[in-house]
Chains A and B, each alone.
Chain A
Amino acid sequence: MSSMLTIALPKGKLGLEALDLLAKAGLPTDGVSDESRKLLIECEKEQVKYIICRPTDIPTYVEYGAADIGIVGKDTIEEAEKNLFELLDLGFGKCTFVLALPRSALNSMGYEGKRVEKILSHFPHLRIATKFPKVASKYLQSLGVQAEIIPLHGNIELAPLVGLSEGIVDIVSTGKTLRENDLVAVDEIFEATARVIANRVSYKLKYHRIQELIGDIRKILAEDKND
């Protein structure tokens, strides 16, 4: 049985934080970097392999078993709706899913203190632009609100400004982008942090190694908390 452990890591800031954590947990991370163009790094001696890919692809790599485990945001996991095991909440990479509307539209209806369903009922035909169509439709369904979901790939905050949609569902970390575009978060949907996910079969075949790694990471996270 192959004893190689394949780990999928996202490009970008989250990936760097994840690498930092894995290094502390004693895994080899030399030569693994976001900067290099290498997408596949194998550490023969330590029996570890890294796949560097787009965050949104990580659940797919892990679901099909191309990677045994992966590190990715809960936002991406929720949107992917894949069959995965979720082993650990890493606590970093925190962001919040919000429903946001333009301040001008809100002011004209006097929204302060109103329930979100009430606010949305002001629009005869509601269109919501988002990078997360599944999260957005689940959320709107839970409110009992009929809306047209407009999937976009980036710069969601632009949509209401140019009349493409009435509002947006997006993730925010500081809220700066919303403020700059004069959008107001009227509801928080849920908070997302980075998670360790595992392939359903890999986890069962390599449970010793994976559980040990999870235990080590858990210890490091606890120590960081106490510092």
Chain B
Amino acid sequence: MDPELNLSTPTGIRDWHSEAASTKRVVENKLANLFSSWGYEEVITGTIEYEDVIGRGLNEEEKSQLYRFFGREGEAFTLRPDMTTPIARFVASQLTGVPLPLRLFYTGNVFRHEKPQAGRYREFFQAGIELIGTDTGRADAEVIILASEALRTLGVEDFKIGVGQVQLLDSFLEITCLPEKTKNLLKQSIADKDYVTVNSIIEGASLVEEEKDLLNGLSLVQSGEEFFERLAGKSLPGPITIHLERLRDVYDSLAAAGLMDNVFIDLGITRDFEYYTGIVFEVYSPALGFPICGGGRYNNLFGRFGFPCPATGFALGIERILLVLKRVGKLPSSNSKQLLVYGKDFKKLLSAAAGLRSQGFAVEIDLDGKSREELEKYARAAGMELLEVPAEEE
């Protein structure tokens, strides 16, 4: 390598090659097949979008993470920071007439100029679904069930699903009558699991002991049973009851799907994007310190593109899934044995190689007329077996 030439990639941008690239393709194909079998259709949107169009789905902090650049006419472009917003833009502009619900899936790369931190790239890959035009507990449940199916299809059996409801925590905080600023800090602290701050705010608030206990209890991660037990028999304001009923409905549907042992309730799940409006969830594996999948309901996003319509969905992080698969020993491998064939007669080489390929081998042909010794060295380095194709029939 010429030290004078800068051949590095920008921070957070990586190359994919060899096994990494092939396992990524296998994983994406398995996911695509699964999503298709549930009736989801593939959608591929462009990598580059107008910044003001995509910006409609984002808050200020999310906008600050966009990769931005200018076109030749001075237009402001951006690289897509997620797939949900471009899909909302696409559906609102081209599919408003189709019968609902609409089921879409995607695999693709997204870009976020985040502070480099553990387990994050700035260009990363996602596979996911959007379920558009239905606002029922069953729809919320379907995306969570499909997310678990996706993990099982890939061989990940050991995972937990944290389920929350973004409005529920807001409604509970509403009845505390805390000042707006304190409420926001408490909400953020529950999301960040900063229990030192959570406890000090709740202790200092002018609430009766029972309300303090309830808030402290709600801020915890807990099983569905504990959660609903905690609220049983309490008389609660209307909005809370509605959100609670939906959560109960989803929880029961997940139990019906046999996911009871995988699910816990965490009202602190707020997700990366502020467009979420209802049931949200994240999936965790003991093999990784970060969520591997997340999503939820976002009923207002389509409205911002002129097509008010409820929707929900999820995205799996491909890099993270690959890490988990590696750590639990479930990384898909290409089973086909690799061969290197060589010989003087090119026609015979071609037909021998074709024959071997049809038997399932991956076959390379020596093109350079290398010596046996050189060929052995090359084959060993690439993990291939060497096979001579004789020129003359004996």
B158 at the interface (CB under 8 A from A): yes
| Chain B min CB distance to A93 (Å) | 14
A63 at the interface (CB under 8 A from B): yes
B288 at the interface (CB under 8 A from A): yes
The residues of B that contact A198 with a CB separation of less than 8 Å are 193
B67 at the interface (CB under 8 A from A): no
| Chain A min CB distance to B326 (Å) | 15
A88 at the interface (CB under 8 A from B): yes
Which residue from chain A places its CB closest to the CB of B192 in the assembled complex?
A: A85
A201→B220 contact, CB < 8 A: no
B286 at the interface (CB under 8 A from A): yes
CB-contact partner of B160 in A83, A88, A200, A204, under 8 A? A204
Interface size on A, residues (CB 8 A): 23
Which residue from chain B places its CB closest to the CB of A63 in the assembled complex?
A: B118
Q: Is the interface of B mostly helix, strand, loop or mixed?
A: loop
| Chain A min CB distance to B352 (Å) | 50
Q: Is the interface of A mostly helix, strand, loop or mixed?
A: mixed
B162 at the interface (CB under 8 A from A): yes
B195 at the interface (CB under 8 A from A): yes
| Chain A min CB distance to B200 (Å) | 8
| Chain A min CB distance to B187 (Å) | 15
Q: A2-B286, A205-B286 are in contact. Are A85 and B118 (CB under 8 A)?
A: no
CB-contact partner of B289 in A86, A88, A89, A199, under 8 A? A199
B118→A205 contact, CB < 8 A: no
Q: Which of A175-227 contact B (CB under 8 A)?
A: 195, 198-205, 207, 211, 214
Which residue from chain A places its CB closest to the CB of B193 in the assembled complex?
A: A85
Bound-state Cα–Cα, A88 to B193, Å: 10
Most chain B CB neighbours (cut-off 10 Å) among A63, A83, A200, A204? A204
A204→B221 contact, CB < 8 A: yes
Most chain B CB neighbours (cut-off 10 Å) among A63, A85, A86, A201? A201
Q: A207-B222, A211-B221 are in contact. Are A200 and B195 (CB under 8 A)?
A: no
Q: A201-B291, A207-B264 are in contact. Are A64 and B118 (CB under 8 A)?
A: yes
Bound-state Cα–Cα, A88 to B266, Å: 18
B193→A86 contact, CB < 8 A: yes
| Chain B min CB distance to A63 (Å) | 6
B196→A205 contact, CB < 8 A: no
Bound-state Cα–Cα, A201 to B288, Å: 8
Q: Which of B209-226 contact A (CB under 8 A)?
A: 220-222
Q: A63-B118, A201-B291 are in contact. Are A85 and B286 (CB under 8 A)?
A: no
> A: which residues have CB within 8 A of B?
1-2, 63-65, 83, 85-89, 195, 198-205, 207, 211, 214
Seed contacts A203-B193, A207-B264; 16 additional CB < 8 Å A-B pairs = A1-B158, A2-B286, A63-B118, A63-B289, A64-B289, A83-B117, A85-B192, A85-B195, A86-B197, A88-B196, A89-B196, A200-B289, A201-B286, A201-B289, A204-B221, A207-B220
21 A–B pairs (Cβ distance < 8 Å), ordered by A: A64-B118, A64-B289, A65-B288, A83-B118, A85-B192, A85-B193, A86-B196, A86-B197, A87-B193, A88-B196, A201-B286, A201-B289, A201-B291, A202-B286, A202-B289, A203-B221, A204-B162, A204-B221, A204-B284, A207-B222, A211-B220
